[in-house]
Amino acid sequence: MSTASSPKEAGLQKDANRQKEHRLVNTTEPNLLEETFDYGLPPLIKFDGPIIEHIDGEPIEFDPTLAKHRDIHITDTTFRDGQQARPPYTIGQMVHLYDLMSKLGGPNGVIRQTEFFLYTKNDRETLDRCRELGHRYPECTGWIRAVKSDFRLVKEAGLKETGMLTSSSDYHIFNKLKFKSRQECMDSYCEVVDAAFEAGVRPRCHLEDITRADFDGFVLPFVDRLMRMSEQVPEDQSVKIRICDTMGFGVHYPGVELPRSVPKIIYKLNQECGVPSDRLEWHGHNDFHRVHANGASAWLYGCDALNGTMFGYGERCGNPPVEGAIIEYISLKEDLCGIQTEVITEMAEYMRSIGFPIPENYPLVGKHFNTTRAGIHAGGLRSDERIYNIFDTAKLLGRPPRVALTDKSGADGVAHWVNEYFELKEDARISKIKCHKVARWVMDQYEVDGRMTAISDEELEDKVRELMPEYYEKYKGALV
C-alpha cells in the first residue's frame, strides 16, 4: 500500500493551473544565499507574507515583519522557575549569574527583567546584592502567591513590580486552590491586585494553566476586569499579563482551537481585551518539545515579552531557553543590538562548574553542539567551515567547530582536530599527510583493538604529543 499522500489527502485542492515547470538555473558560481546566511550572525529570519489565522470565522492577518521594529524583549525566571527544578543556588552563584545575564543582554535591555523569590532571608539578601551591582538591566522583580499579606514582602524589598499567581484553569481554581466558584476565585485575585495598587506595586498576573482553561468562561472576563481596574492607576502600575503555558499544551501553528492556540490566546487578549503588547508576556514549558517555537511565535503574534530561563532549566521539562531566545531575537532583528553572545558560553561554563549538567548535544552550549564525527563532514569543514557550521561560532560563541574522532572520522577528521588543537588557520594548517601517524593510531583503536567509544580530547592530546613531537614543541611548547 502506498504511503505517499496526494495534495488532496494533505488537505489541498489539486489545481492543474498551479503546476509549473521548474528549470535549472545553471551557474559556475555558487549562490550561498548570504543575505540570509550571513556567517557573522545567526541565520536571519526573513518573511515574505503575512501569517493568516482564522479567528471566530474571520481570517486575521498577522504581519510578522513588525516584530523587527517592535520592542520585543526577553524576561528571565532562572532564579524562580529555574530554581524550582534544582537544588537552591547559593547567593554568590545567583549574583554571579545575574551579573553575566546583564552582560549578555547588553545595554539595550534585551534581557529586560528577572524575577526573585522574596520569602527567605537568603532570597532577600540575593536581591539586595544583585541590585547593589547597579545594573539597569535586567530589572529585578518579585514573585509572590496571590495572597494580600505577601505584599508586605514586595514593599519591604522596594520592588516596583511583582508577579503573582492567578491560575486560570478549573484544574487549579477548583482542584488545587479549592475555590467554591469561579466568581469567588476572580474576586479573590482582584482583591490582591487591589492590594498591589494600594502598595504602589505593579501587579503582573500569572495566568497559570491558561492553555487548559475555559477561555471564554473565565480568562477573557477576568482579563476584562483587570483592564478595567488598571484604568484607575497610572500606566506604569497597570496590570501586566503573563500567559503561562504551565503544562506545555500550547501550539504555535495556525488552525488550532482555543485554549491551546498560541495565536488565538494572544490575539484575544491583545485585541479583544485590549491588553497592549508591552503588557503581555509568554511563559512556556517544554513538555511537548514546543517551548522555543511557542515562545518565539508569541513575539510574532503580538506579545512583546518572552519569559525563559538560562539553558531552559525549569519545572519538569523546563522553560524557553533564554540563549535560544537571544539567537532568535538577533535573527529577527538582523542585528546584535548590543547583545554579547559570547557570554552564553561563559554562563554555560559557569553552570557546569557548579554542577549543572548540560547535555553534550544541547544547542549552542553542549560540548558537542558544533562537533562533527563523520570524516566526510570533517573534509567539508577543512575546505570551508561554513559547510557544517551554523554560523561563525568562534566569533559569536568563542567555540570554533570541532571534530570528534571515531572510526568514521578519517584522515580529514584527524587533520581538522589537530589544526584546531594547535589553533592553526589557513596556510599555516598542517596537511593530513603530516597527521598520518595519529590517523593510523585512531583507526587501529577500532580495527585492531575493537574500541566502541569516541576518542577523548585528552587521549588525542597525548597522541599528538607522542606522534607529532616536532609540531607539539613548535605550537604547544616543551614536551616535558
| Residue 10 grid cell | 494533505
CB of 447 to another protein, least distance (A): 9
Kindly tell me which of 376 and 387 has the beta carbon lying closer to another protein: 376
CB of 435 to another protein, least distance (A): 8
- Rounded Cα distance between 404 and 254, Å, is 41
CB of 417 to another protein, least distance (A): 14
Kindly tell me which of 5 and 431 has the beta carbon lying closer to another protein: 431
Cα distances from 279 to residues 202, 238, 241, 282, in angstroms, run 11, 8, 6, 10
Kindly tell me which of 284 and 379 has the beta carbon lying closer to another protein: 379
Q: Is the dihedral of CA 24, 26, 32, 33 positive or negative?
A: negative
- Rounded Cα distance between 145 and 176, Å, is 13
Kindly tell me which of 182 and 434 has the beta carbon lying closer to another protein: 434
CB of 402 to another protein, least distance (A): 20
CB of 259 to another protein, least distance (A): 56
CB of 463 to another protein, least distance (A): 14
- Rounded Cα distance between 67 and 281, Å, is 14
Kindly tell me which of 218 and 441 has the beta carbon lying closer to another protein: 441
b/e map 377-391, b = 16+ CB within 10 Å: bbbbbbeebbebbbb
CB of 437 to another protein, least distance (A): 8
Residues that bind another protein (CB under 8 A): 375, 410-411, 431-436, 439-440, 442-443
Kindly tell me which of 109 and 375 has the beta carbon lying closer to another protein: 375
Kindly tell me which of 390 and 442 has the beta carbon lying closer to another protein: 442
CB of 375 to another protein, least distance (A): 7
- Rounded Cα distance between 191 and 199, Å, is 12
Helix-, strand-, coil-residue percentages of the chain, each rounded to 5: 45, 15, 40
Whose grid coordinates read 481596574? 229
Task: Locate all alpha helices (DSSP H) within 54-198, ordered by sequence.
Answer: 81-84, 91-105, 121-132, 151-157, 170, 182-198
Q: At what angle do helices 322-333 and 291-301 cross, to 10 degrees?
A: 40
- Rounded Cα distance between 391 and 344, Å, is 15
| Residue type at 231 in one-letter notation | E
Kindly tell me which of 12 and 376 has the beta carbon lying closer to another protein: 376
**How open is the CA angle 384-388-392, to the nearest 5 degrees?**
75
Residue of 321, 328, 265 whose CA lies nearest to 64 = 328
